[in-house]
Amino acid sequence: MCIFCDIIDGKIPSKKIYEDENVLAILDISQVTKGHTLVMPKKHCRNIIEADAETVSQCTEAVRRLTKQIVENTGAAGANVLNNCGETAGQTVDHLHFHIIPRYTENDSITIAFNPSEEQDLDAVLALVRG
């Protein structure tokens, strides 16, 4: 059972912002800021790692268009576009989705902090990441 598949199938009501053959965008039920939106593929995939390239492209193109639309129509100053991949990263619904969170001020009710970790050997990190 997947709550977003149930929304896509119309079994659970939602506030639809955009829909096409492949993608659905709805208002997040907990509006972190006014206009907080979720963009998801209609095809169930767990996360961005497991999704196929076409599905991710369809979503990111919708994210691109909707971020522009939402920022323009709400009068926001900008937006955070966010994907949580995996429970440790904060993913609570295991159906791929992207958050669009309009930002009105730097003190909005969202905190994203890039706290530096211990110093890293960048060449070692590069080798690790490149594989």
User: Which residues are marked as active site?
Assistant: 97
Nearer to ligand AMP, 90 or 127 (CB): 90
The β-bridge partners of 23 are 41
Measured CA to CA, the distance from residue 52 to residue 75 in angstroms comes to 34
109 binds ligand AMP (CB under 6 A): no
Yes or no: say if 42 and 24 are a contact pair by the CB < 8 Å rule.
yes
**93, 104, 108, 110: residue in contact with ligand AMP (rule CB under 6 A):** 93
Measured CA to CA, the distance from residue 24 to residue 39 in angstroms comes to 6
Site string for ligand AMP, 3-32 (x = CB under 6 A): x--------x-x-----------x-xxx--
- Beta strands 98-103; 78-82: pairing state: antiparallel
Site string for Zn ion, 38-57 (x = CB under 5 A): ------x-------------
E strand or H helix at 63, and its extent? helix 53-74
Residues that bind ligand AMP (CB under 6 A): 3, 12, 14, 26, 28-30, 38, 84, 90-93
